[in-house]
Amino acid sequence: MNVLDKITWLRLERNWSEYQLAEKSGLTQSTISTWYRKNMLPTIPSLIKICDAFGLTLSQFFLEDDGNTIQITERQKLLLDYAAKLSPEQYSALLNFLKAL
């Protein structure tokens, strides 16, 4: 997998410019453009910021797309993040609440 190609693909899929990716990731545009100019790989902390901007985990980023990959929205990710912090009883109550809606 080419990391820079994957970042480009994810960015273009969202119709983001490099500037928009920089804003959303908290990195500078010059940092991102340097990766491409010098064919450098981002550091792990930088890649984590990129993944956060895309709403992905590192695992999802490196997952090979076999056509069965499911992309989630920011709203769905937020819901999953909150649900993961619940106790089993709270999670069950949340599921019952959602089923009742």
The CATH number linked to 22 is: 1.10.260.40
3-state helix, strand, coil in the chain (%, to 5): 65, 0, 35
Which residues in 53-87 are b (16+ Cβ under 10 Å) and which e? bbbbeeeebeeeeeeeeeeeeeeeeeeeeeeeeee
My answer on whether 79 and 46 are in the same domain is no
My answer on whether 88 and 61 are in the same domain is no
My answer on whether 99 and 54 are in the same domain is no
Domain that holds residue 87: 71-101
CA 80/CA 75 separation, integer angstroms: 9
- Choose among 68, 75, 71, 78: nearest CA to 56: 71
pLDDT tens-digit profile, the chain (101 residues): 799 999 999 999 999 999 999 999 999 999 999 999 999 999 999 999 999 999 888 888 988 766 666 677 888 888 888 888 889 899 899 999 999 99
CA 38/CA 95 separation, integer angstroms: 49
Q: pTM for the full model?
A: 0.64
